[in-house]
Copies of this chain bind each other. A is one copy, B any other.
Amino acid sequence: MSARVRRIPASDSVIRRAPTMEDVAREAGVSRALVSLVMRERPNVSEERRRRVLDVASRLGYRPNAMARSLASRRTKTVGVILDDLRNPFFAEIAGGVEELAFEVGYQLLLAAGGRQARRERAAMAALLEHRVSGIIMVSPRMPAGVIAAAAAEAPLVIVGRAVRGVDADSVLINEAHGTGLVLDHLIGLGHEAIAHVDGGTGAGGPQRRSAYLRGMRGHRLARHALVIPGDFTEEAGVSAAAELVRRPQLPTAIFAANDMVAAGLLGGLDRAGVEVPRDVSIVGYDNISIAHLAHVSLTTVDQPRTEMGRLALELLLDRIDNRRANEVRLIEPSLVIRSTTAPPRTLAAAVA
């Protein structure tokens, strides 16, 4: 582009570079300031000149330069989003929610993925700060709290999915305890007592769900039935958990999986072992990912409103950008979606019959 500008300065009839505000002003016979006022849709510009400027602008194919605008006005209508991995639908959907609202309010989205590494996350963060984004949304950040706090000092920040103490930022958190409570209430309401849990290891939400499960079992006086099979949020974990459960003398009557992938693995593994769901054992997942609602799967699971979480995060960020509000924590209440993988335990079903 820039290399193409090779002409005698005086020859001004055909300009090869992109037209600037100056060009529009000259052509319309007004000042640059007036053009600026028109482009920013400010009041107190006579209708006649507005028309004239707009006409010339579109005739020349003028496009305001966002860089120059940001530099002069000291604000970019741009927010940065840092997330783990776009290929994970959970994050992609949150980003989708952010994008949706950003478009509505005329903000641009600068996106960076952390690729599951704190190092990459920090690089992404640095890049966003260099771009002087108006604010940053971090989804399930992995970097140390200290780094996050430092970032919060440089730009308005909203953190999604992780509680970070002592940081000047708003956050959007999921009430994992509540979600887990819904699962247990549902299963216990159906008559289940032997409810096992395949956990999610150290991944986001994993520990919270496990401890909420243990607490819940105790609360319902079912501590003796509590059983945690270690997992890691993958389908494979579900498959091997199924194998392990089948090997035991007694199958639980219900299994609470740390997420839907694990639940899918369980479904597959149990199916191959000849265990029928939900007749022999009920299964509940977590996340309500797209596969959960498939007729073929029809998984009872806990739904988290991901798009809304994204929107909410941006809402908080926008407030923070212009109101500079106090740190706020918004707790998202998940809900239970009951489908076909849960039913009363067999014994009870038999008793009724």
Q: Which residues of A are in contact with B by a Cβ distance under 8 Å?
A: 1-2, 18, 63-68, 70-71, 74-76, 85-87, 89, 92-93, 95-96, 99-100, 103, 108-113, 115, 120, 123-124, 126-127, 129-132, 154, 235, 239, 264-265, 267-269, 271-272, 290-291, 294-298, 307
Most chain B beta-carbon contacts within 10 A, residue among A63, A86, A100? A86
Contact present for B132 and A66 (CB under 8 Å): yes
Contact present for B70 and A67 (CB under 8 Å): yes
Given A63-B126, A108-B127, A265-B295, 20 new contacts (CB under 8 A) = A18-B154, A63-B130, A65-B71, A66-B127, A67-B71, A67-B131, A86-B93, A86-B96, A87-B89, A87-B93, A87-B307, A92-B92, A95-B111, A100-B113, A103-B113, A109-B111, A110-B110, A110-B111, A235-B294, A296-B297
Contact present for B108 and A109 (CB under 8 Å): no
Contact present for B76 and A87 (CB under 8 Å): no
CA distance A68 to B154 in the complex (A): 18
Q: How far is the CB of A19 from chain B (nearest CB, A)?
A: 11
> Could you give 28 example pairs across A and B, Cβ below 8 Å?
A63-B129, A63-B130, A64-B130, A66-B132, A85-B96, A86-B93, A86-B96, A87-B92, A89-B89, A89-B92, A89-B290, A92-B92, A96-B113, A99-B111, A99-B113, A103-B120, A103-B124, A109-B110, A109-B111, A110-B110, A110-B111, A264-B294, A264-B295, A267-B295, A268-B296, A291-B297, A294-B297, A296-B296
